[in-house]
Structure 1
Amino acid sequence: MRLEPRAHAPFWLNLTAPIAAIGLAFAFCALLILWSGAPIIDSYAALLRGAFGSTFALTETLTRAAPLIFTGLAAAVAFRAKLWNIGGEGQLYAGALAATWVGTGMVHLPPFLMVPFLFLVGAVAGGLLLLLPVILKLKLRVDEVVTTLLLNFVVILFANYLLFGPWKDPLAMGWPQAAPIIDEGILGTLVPRMRLHSGLIWAVAFAVFAWAFIRFTRWGFQIRAVGYNPEAAAFAGMPIGATVLRTALLSGGLAGMAGVCELAGAKGYLTIDISPGFGYTGIAVAMLAGLHPLGVVAAAIFVAAIYNGADAMSRAMSISNYLADVLTATALLLVLASVLFVRFRPQWR
């Protein structure tokens, strides 16, 4: 068997290939459910109810999806330019730290200005954090996978120092958390008595912005060109270094806004566990979406539904909730394999 490039992949194939891959992932995980001794249909029904079966379940899924949209966009934008940003977790914490610094009383603005100001501050912090690895990459050829990954631990340890030291709220009963964000900076709720907040609207709006930016602007075209073939882009006169720097600012800024989304929306104050790995999960979200900004929204909701539903399934059927990790990883691998068969046609000789 040999693989030949397709001159043009039909629309139906682009649509059905990832759906079939996700279906195979569920079929594979069904074997694990069967191995654990639980009924497959009842287990998946419990997963579905835990993700979408009630107003509470639906709002919790969407609340979890909001930061994943931001981190998924951060990875998708960077990977488009072949900038392998693995530091979304650290950039998320950088955005949350910056928003805590200015949002706990340093700046007082009306709510319609305070919330955008916090997102701007978080975006600047996340973008600046990614600039250092990119400068090392451009000037010294240092692998950005290593530097962005290691910076995650540096930022999280710095947050630990602040929360156990100078930023520890004396009114927190000894818990390591910072002072709460002022009321003007808190994101409004979308459903009464539920945790779902307007950060979801901000996330979807920035997904549309990222899609339009990459699809219709000159800078977006340069990002795509550098990602496809940097040598050809340089031969055409495109500024490779400036394009990568702009990509870094946009990618890190989106990850930083994920920290603001959690800080001013779901939490209200900074804690060391403000992110259960949103920065890393965002990479899987971006890959499931095929690096398409609008697809990131659907992929983030899918991943959030899997994790929320797995928690409910674990309680109802006594199945380990680590099945969510297996299901997400399997779906990612099979979706990547499906992309291969969309781009190439198998030929038997």
Structure 2
Amino acid sequence: MRLEPVASRTMARTLGLPALALAGTVVVASLLAMLAGANPFATLGLILKGAAGSKFALLETLNRATPLIFTGLAVAVAFRAKLWNIGAEAQLYAGALVTVLIGTKLGLSGPVAIPIMGVGAVIAGALMLLVPVILKVRLGVDEVVTTLLFNFIMLLFISMLLEGPLKDPMGMGWPKSEALDRDMRLPRIVEGLRLHWGFALGLIAAVLVWILQSRTTLGFEIRAVGLNPNAARFAGIPIRAVLLKTALLSGGLAALAGYSEVAGLKGNLTLDLSPGFGYTGIIVAMLALLHPLGVVVSAIFVAGVFVGTDSMSRAAEVPTYIADMALATALLFMVLAILLTNFRIVRG
């Protein structure tokens, strides 16, 4: 048995295999629910109801999807150029840290601070990824290792700051930063509910990334470097420059997740600001087949699984870890679907 490249991919093969991957995920999730002692059909109904069964549930799903859109875009942009950014979590926290520093230390007014915090967050995230990429292009250091290690370094650095110079003196001992003033927060889209304008910013970012990738010279260069770096080099494309630009874009997008969580939702910086949004962004990007607009759909789907499973676990008394296992299964099935989209199994 060996793999052979597919000469021409049909629409049925391109769309059908990912659809089968999602269907297989539903089957596996149902079996897991059954093993946990619940009715699988009732469990799926509870998940759908918890994720989109009411206005509150739907908006909460969109709220949970907001940081996943940014981290999913960050991963999709980097992976398109074969730049394996595993450090979106570090870039997210870098963006959140700069947001808090600008919002609480510079004495700016709200309307002025909101865009400055966003720009500062983007710059911080871009620089966070730029270092591993410089090590890659200059010294050949594997970016998978460096970006992954940066996640732990950044978390330890944030922990040190929250126990020291950034600790809120009015926080009753809890390791958290001072809160942003109310007029520095991103406005709510629906008054009284948690969905904020960070979600709209995520949609705009997805459209802009799609335009960049499909309509600009840089987008063509990113795709060329990702598909065949040797051919891209022969065609005169500056591979190092393209990778550095990709790093700046990817890191900045991931940092916007931290900005939106602080300025739009939490109001301050804590060590548990992200429950793994950076890592989940990899799943989001892979489920979307690295397409920027698909990232929005994928992020909402993944967020719906988390929100719906949380609701289902309370109603059906089954573990919430089913959601984690379902997403892991979805990623494995999607990777297999992508493989079989581009290759076929032949005997010999």
User: Does the TM-score normalized on the shorter chain lie above 0.5?
Assistant: yes
SS of the counterpart of 2:86?
A: coil
In the aligned structure 2, how far is the partner of 1:23 from the partner of 1:298?
16
Q: TM-score, normalised by structure 1?
A: 0.96
Name the structure 1 match of 2:319.
320
- What is the CA deviation profile of residues 277-330 of structure 1, one whole-angstrom value per residue up to 9, with x for unaligned ones? 000100111111111111100110011011111111111111110001111011
List alignment gaps of at least 5 residues for structure 1: none
**Contact persistence 2:110–2:181 (CA under 8 A):** no
Cα distance, 1:117 vs structure 2? 1.8
**Contact persistence 1:114–1:184 (CA under 8 A):** no
- Number of aligned positions between the proteins: 348
Name the structure 2 match of 1:94.
94
In the aligned structure 1, how far is the partner of 2:124 from the partner of 2:109?
20
- What is the CA deviation profile of residues 3-36 of structure 1, one whole-angstrom value per residue up to 9, with x for unaligned ones? 4433332223322321221111111221221112
Name the structure 2 match of 1:297.
296
Name the structure 1 match of 2:184.
185
Cα distance, 1:183 vs structure 2? 3.0
In the aligned structure 1, how far is the partner of 2:218 from the partner of 2:114?
27
Name the structure 2 match of 1:240.
239
Name the structure 2 match of 1:70.
70
**Contact persistence 1:123–1:257 (CA under 8 A):** yes
**Contact persistence 2:102–2:113 (CA under 8 A):** no
- What is the CA deviation profile of residues 49-74 of structure 1, one whole-angstrom value per residue up to 9, with x for unaligned ones? 11111111111111110000000001
Name the structure 2 match of 1:47.
47
Summarize the alignment of residues 1-349 of structure 1 with structure 2, pairs less than 5 Å apart: 3-109=3-109, 111=111, 113-346=112-345
In the aligned structure 2, how far is the partner of 1:179 from the partner of 1:105?
10
Cα distance, 1:105 vs structure 2? 4.4
SS of the counterpart of 1:179?
A: coil
**Contact persistence 1:52–1:61 (CA under 8 A):** yes
**Contact persistence 1:118–1:185 (CA under 8 A):** no
The code of the aligned residue for 2:23 comes to G
- What is the CA deviation profile of residues 74-122 of structure 1, one whole-angstrom value per residue up to 9, with x for unaligned ones? 10101111111110001100000011111114152452x4322211110
In the aligned structure 2, how far is the partner of 1:211 from the partner of 1:36?
41
**Contact persistence 1:86–1:149 (CA under 8 A):** yes
In the aligned structure 2, how far is the partner of 1:133 from the partner of 1:346?
37
In the aligned structure 1, how far is the partner of 2:279 from the partner of 2:320?
18
Cα distance, 1:340 vs structure 2? 2.3
Q: TM-score, normalised by structure 2?
A: 0.96
- What is the CA deviation profile of residues 134-156 of structure 1, one whole-angstrom value per residue up to 9, with x for unaligned ones? 11111111111111111111111
Cα distance, 1:345 vs structure 2? 4.1
In the aligned structure 1, how far is the partner of 2:247 from the partner of 2:107?
27
SS of the counterpart of 1:135?
A: helix
**Contact persistence 2:71–2:254 (CA under 8 A):** yes
SS of the counterpart of 2:74?
A: helix
Which deviates further from its counterpart, 41-50 or 113-122? 113-122
**Contact persistence 1:199–1:261 (CA under 8 A):** yes
Cα distance, 1:341 vs structure 2? 2.5
SS of the counterpart of 1:104?
A: helix
The code of the aligned residue for 1:70 comes to F
**Contact persistence 2:99–2:120 (CA under 8 A):** yes
In the aligned structure 1, how far is the partner of 2:149 from the partner of 2:174?
27
- What is the CA deviation profile of residues 161-215 of structure 1, one whole-angstrom value per residue up to 9, with x for unaligned ones? 1111111111222221111113332111011211000000000100111111111
**Contact persistence 2:94–2:258 (CA under 8 A):** yes
In the aligned structure 2, how far is the partner of 1:199 from the partner of 1:233?
36
CA RMSD of aligned residues (A): 1.5
The code of the aligned residue for 1:285 comes to V
In the aligned structure 2, how far is the partner of 1:148 from the partner of 1:348?
39
